[in-house]
């Protein structure tokens, strides 16, 4: 009997000492500042849990593109993901409210609006089995093209990459006379090299990190939208972690989220000068061209509101943007 009890206590002790391994997939390039911040977050998780939480990171698309990684979380091959807005909208369309083309002009507007609507978005993710650990962003999206392009008609002549699985964006481009081609993010560089695509939309920092600008050496200097991001963990995995450890992990994740935003925004300003040293041509749009793009995207807003973005959420973003601008008017030149 003594031996049986001793064995039972030993098994219980071993179970309590078991390590929870959290496998996280992401497209962030291996060795990049983003990757290092995620590593630091994992180190903090291990420290805060006395080694009972181990974060294993698979960067650079090692686990596939974002839709594939989301699927792997659902079938429990991954436990967590760090996604861009493209992957996030495949889980909940509401995230697209933070990426409405030419709706926002600054990170200050983005931060103000995101802070206001994040609780609603996080509730929607939770209903779909995901816990949001932090929010981030990846910079302002620009067109990168093989031949210099400025107007919508210039881009319409090109084969424009749309991320695989982003069917709503594909459909919108088709309806407005563009020629989108669906590719996984990991196939963009070979797609540019082989002529499968002629143009991409990307933040400068991502175009630099993935060397996409090497195949598309012209960047239109219009900021079309911000590319947001977030780190998610599967709800059942999160629920299996003790509450006190959850709090410490969430705190570390929030610190990582702030660090990611600060690092990306600082690096974004440096990325264009670096690419220009290697042959990037920045195409400066005149006021007439900017107005042409704005008329195009604002004409699409009624198609976005409702079918692609919940109507009340779309309206809330407009209200919050106007509210922010009223409180922070731009200085008159």
Q: Domains for the chain: give ranges and CATH numbers.
A: 20-327 (3.40.190.170)
CA atoms within 13 A on the CB side of 93: 15
The 10 Å Cβ neighbour count of residue 235 is 15
Q: Which pLDDT score is estimated for 17?
A: 52
**Any idea what DSSP says for residue 241?**
S
What is the pLDDT tens value at each position of the chain, 333 positions in all?
Answer: 445 544 444 444 444 458 899 999 999 888 887 899 999 999 999 999 999 999 999 999 999 989 899 999 999 999 999 998 888 998 999 999 999 999 999 999 999 999 999 999 999 999 999 999 999 888 999 999 999 999 999 999 999 999 887 888 898 899 999 999 999 888 999 999 999 999 999 999 999 988 999 999 999 999 999 999 999 999 999 999 999 999 999 999 999 989 888 888 888 889 999 999 999 999 999 999 999 999 999 999 999 999 999 999 999 999 999 999 999 988 765
Q: Return d(Cα 266, Cα 268) in angstroms, integer.
A: 5
Q: What angle do CA 303, 104, 327 make, to 5 degrees?
A: 125
33 to each of 228, 267, 316, how far by Cα in Å? 17, 9, 34
The 10 Å Cβ neighbour count of residue 291 is 11
């Amino acid at each position: 009997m003594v031996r049986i009890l001793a064995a039972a206590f030993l098994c219980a002790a071993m179970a309590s000492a078991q390590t929870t391994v959290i496998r996280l997939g992401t497209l962030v390039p291996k060795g990049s500042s983003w990757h290092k911040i995620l590593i630091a977050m994992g180190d903090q998780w291990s420290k805060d849990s006395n080694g009972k939480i181990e974060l294993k990171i698979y960067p650079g698309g090692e686990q596939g593109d974002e839709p594939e990684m989301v699927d792997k979380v659902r079938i429990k091959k991954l436990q967590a993901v760090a996604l861009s807005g493209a992957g996030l909208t495949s889980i909940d369309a509401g995230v697209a409210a933070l990426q409405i083309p030419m709706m926002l002009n600054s990170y200050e507007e983005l931060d103000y609006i995101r802070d206001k609507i994040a609780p609603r978005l996080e509730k929607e993710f939770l209903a779909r089995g995901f816990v949001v650990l932090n929010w981030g962003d990846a910079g302002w999206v620009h067109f990168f093209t093989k031949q210099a392009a400025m107007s919508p008609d210039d881009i319409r002549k090109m084969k424009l990459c749309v991320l695989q699985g982003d069917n709503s964006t594909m459909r919108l481009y088709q309806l407005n006379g563009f020629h989108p081609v669906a590719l996984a993010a990991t196939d963009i560089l070979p797609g540019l090299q082989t002529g499968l695509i002629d143009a991409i939309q990307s933040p400068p920092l991502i175009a630099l990190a993935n060397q996409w600008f090497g195949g598309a050496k012209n960047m239109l200097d219009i900021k079309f939208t911000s590319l947001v991001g977030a780190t998610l963990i599967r709800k059942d995995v999160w629920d299996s972690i003790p509450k006190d450890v959850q709090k410490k992990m969430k705190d570390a994740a929030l610190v990582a989220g702030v660090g990611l935003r600060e690092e990306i925004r600082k690096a974004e300003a440096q990325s264009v000068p670096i690419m220009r040293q290697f042959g990037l041509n920045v195409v400066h749009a005149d006021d007439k061209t900017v107005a042409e793009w704005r008329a195009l995207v604002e004409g699409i807003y009624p198609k976005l509101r409702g079918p692609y973005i919940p109507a009340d959420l779309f309206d809330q973003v407009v209200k919050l943007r106007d509210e922010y601008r009223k409180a922070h008017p731009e200085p008159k030149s």
